[in-house]
Structures are given as C-alpha cells and as structure tokens.
Amino acid sequence: MNSIDIINKTKRRQPLSADEITWLVNEYTAGNVPDYQMSVWLMAVCLNGLTDQETVSLTAAMRDTGDILDLSGIGGITADKHSTGGVGDKTSLIIGPAAAACGLNVPKMSGRGLGHTGGTIDKLESISGYRTELPFEEFEAVVKQTGFSIISQSGNLCPADKKIYALRNATGTVDSIPLICASIMSKKLALNADCILLDVKYGSGAFMKTREEARKLADLMEKVGTAAGKKCRALVTDMNTPLGKNVGNALEVKEAVEILRNKTKGKLYDLCIELTANMLELAGKGTLQECAELAEDAIASGKALEVFRRTIELHGGDPRIADDVSLLPQAKYSYEIKAAADIRITAVNSEEIGMTSLLLGAGRTEKDGEIDMSAGIVMNCECGEHLAAGDTIMTLYSSAVSDFSSAALRALNAVSFTEIS
C-alpha cells in the first residue's frame, strides 16, 4: 500500500478497504506518512465524503492506535454521554449525577473549552480543589463509590485523533461530517462504556448550523457506535440560544447546582430530564416515560445532588458548594445591560453571547490560555419574553475586565427585539 494510491481512490470517489484506511491511520500516527500527504487526503474527504463503512473503518482504526479502557472492574452497566458543544452547556453536571442516582454508572472523560464554546473540565476546575486529572484506578474507584466521575482526557487514548485533529485545524478540513464523526466516536469507543448517548447540537452556537446537518451527523454516529457493538443513541437539540441562563464556568456550576437542588426549572431542566431518560432507557432501566420519572425523582429527592456532592469531595473539591454556591469564584466587576424601552425579545445569537463571554475572560483563544473562572453572563430573559424599560436584559461579570463598553455593545447586538408601543 502507499499514500498516493489511497489519495487517488478517495479523490475519484472509489471506496477504500478497511485495511487501506487502517494502514493510512497507523502510518500517519507513526510519522511515516508526511503531513502534506495526509492533508491532501483529508481535503479529498472534505470534498467527496466517505461511505458509512469507510467511516466505521476510520473510527475503529483511530480508536485502535491507543489504549481502550477496561471498565469491567466498575461492575454494572456503564454509560457515557457526549455533546457536540455549545454555549452554556452544563448538562453533564446534571445528567451524570441524576443517572447515577438511578443506579447507572457514568464514567466520563471531557475536554476543555476553546473559542466560544465552554469545556466541562474548565467548569469543574472552578470548584476549589477539584482534581480533573486522576489515575485510572482512582477514577474507577470514584465511579464505584458514587456512580459518577468526570476527568480530563488523558493517557494514550486515540493518539491518531490528536494528530489528525491538529492537522485538520491547520488545513481547513474540520467541517466534514465523516471526519467529525470519526474524531468523536473514536474517543467514545476508546472509553468503552456499554451505552453511548450523543447530544448533537445545531444552531448559531453550535458547529452544525442547521438541523439537517446535525441529523446527518447524529445518524452516522449512531451507525458507527452500533457497528462497534455499543448501545448508541443520538438526539438532535437546539443551540440557537444559550442553554440555560448562565454562561461562564463558575456561573454554570452555580446553575447546575440550582437545578440539582430542585430550585430551578425551564428548558435546561427539561433537556436534562430528556437526556437522562434516554440514557437510562438505553441501559434497560425501563420505558422512556418510566425513565423520565426516575430522573425527575432523582432530582426532587436530593439523591442526584448528594451524588454530585460526594463526587466533588472524592475529587478533592469543596463539597460545600452543593449547599452554598457563594463559595464558587465571585466576579470583582459586573455590568447590567438594561432595556431602553418596552421590548419583546425575538432572538438571541448564541455564538455572539459565547464570544462576549470570551471577551470577559471566561474562555481561551489558545490551547493553554488562562481563564477567569468568575467571568461570564447571566441572561435575565428568554425569547418571547416582554421587558419593560429599565428591566435588565443580561448582566456581565468579570474579574479580569473592568471596562465593559465593548463587551456590552457586542452582547446587546446579540439580542434581537422589537419595541412595544
């Protein structure tokens, strides 16, 4: 086999065999295929696509370049959840404890945020003392005790994906559904949980801008997961507006705790119940309706909150934040954006809200950038709501920024509204 033949076949829309794909992935990971040849193949994939079977083969080849975790020591059924990312997405902090309170084991590896989308690891690190890097044995022990743990992606999992993703990012070959699928699913399959629930976002704050694109990606990821012998389900959900009211690391942990304390309902709560119910049904805990009732009871009874509290403690974090969110990082500065007239909110551009949060210090523009854990935005309204003149549309928070003029202008431009006469 050689790279030129493989490039030419994809360029001519001729399907590659599993052996050819495996050879290409292994040789590139080992450094025997140069970046310039891999870049050309990735561009050919972007332009011509891959068949479903080729995507299955690519995912398996990428998974097999590194370790595959053995979760059998945890005992019982294990379930993993992945979101394709968005603004204000703190669902893992709610779904994991709720599912664990219902008897499911939820071991999860997550990433950090980059750009306008937040990362679950960053949110957890806003909790004083919380360790996101644990050796596998300790990770396993936490899950055995509480049913739930989230750690950062580490170890020798999917080295091919790390190398290929960096190349895609540098060569304009990110926006390909087969390549996105293989990148996500290779890591999910390396974690090796019994069940995989996928939350595929679409809209202004998501990578997939339309429902149709998101559905294509969701269907392909389901096929790849099922082909690997996993129970796999993908839901398509809306990210045209921020998920929940809070955007920013400590602010999002606060909102998650408020939901786990059964103090807050709304779209975020409803989505978390839906996702938890689907995870429980995949694991054989009952019908979808029965599982939704289990999820609701896990929150209403306080059992999910107790799972979260105990997991924080075992990770070295301050468990008191489960009862007192004022112990989370607090911003030095804040700025309220108020309605200048009576208005009705018609739309909120999720990506622009995320970019504003980035300006305030809540995110990073480069891989190892510093984050202001207290920074972010609290939305005081939703689409369709009426506000009177002088009512607060949103509040900006930061400890790194004291001049809010540019951030406030960008945030206000992200909100569409009509004046009410």
Token pair of 377 as six digits: 């935005």
How far apart are alpha carbons 108 and 132 in whole angstroms?
Answer: 11
Contacts of 399 (CB under 8 A, 6+ apart): 329, 331, 332, 333, 361, 372, 374, 375
What DSSP character marks residue 126? T
How far apart are alpha carbons 174 and 177 in whole angstroms?
Answer: 9
| Marked catalytic residue, from 81, 82, 112, 230 | 82
| Residue whose C-alpha is closest to residue 276's, from 63, 83, 402, 102 | 102
| Marked catalytic residue, from 163, 168, 230, 233 | 168
Alpha-carbon radius of gyration of the chain:
22
Q: Tell me the residue type at 39.
A: S
Three-state secondary-structure class, residue 132? coil
| Marked catalytic residue, from 57, 110, 149, 183 | 183
Question: If residue 280 lies in a helix (H) or strand (E), which one and from where to where?
Answer: helix 267-282
Annotated catalytic, 82?
Answer: yes
Q: Walk across the sheet containing 343-348 and list its strands.
A: 386-387, 343-348, 415-419
Annotated catalytic, 386?
Answer: no
Burial label for 324, CB within 10 Å (0-12, 13-18, 19+), is: exposed
Burial label for 137, CB within 10 Å (0-12, 13-18, 19+), is: exposed
| Marked catalytic residue, from 80, 89, 122, 161 | 161
Whether the Cβ atoms of residue 66 and residue 156 lie closer than 8 Å to each other: yes
What DSSP character marks residue 207? S
Annotated catalytic, 161?
Answer: yes
| Marked catalytic residue, from 187, 188, 201, 310 | 187
Catalytic residues: 82, 161, 168, 183, 187
